Structure 1
Amino acid sequence: MRPFVLIMRFDTLTKSIVSFDPNLEPSMEISPEHITKDYIRELSLIGVKRLSLGVQSLNLDL
């Protein structure tokens, strides 16, 4: 999913939350095969601070 679609969904979600921790650190899980420099840059622009990679995806035999 492209980051601009994510930001629209995040915006909808945050508007439905009455209060949240101001120290919230947005993160997401991503498959290594979807990572590009541009994609990471776009995620950073929408506020994603941390990515979690599925290391099982690195081994095609699993």
Structure 2
Amino acid sequence: MSNATCPICHRPTDPQFRPFCSRHCADVDLGRWFSGTYRFPSFRQDNDEEQDEYRDREG
């Protein structure tokens, strides 16, 4: 038996909604991604050469 807990509410997980305990907690997590609550850091600068080359081709 697994001791895994839901990352949203910390109740035991349900295999059907893993790693969450319910559809509700899965939807809460998805909403956090959509709203920008969860983010990955970016080290790209606005003036990166690759970005400038893309703009030149599109322009």
Shorter-chain TM range is under 0.3
> In proportion to residue count, which structure has more helix?
1
Scaled by the length of structure 2, the TM-score of the pair is 0.26
Scaled by the length of structure 1, the TM-score of the pair is 0.25
User: More relative contact order in 1 or in 2 (CA 8 Å, sep 6+)?
Assistant: 1
Structure possessing the higher radius of gyration over alpha carbons = 2
> In proportion to residue count, which structure has more strand?
1
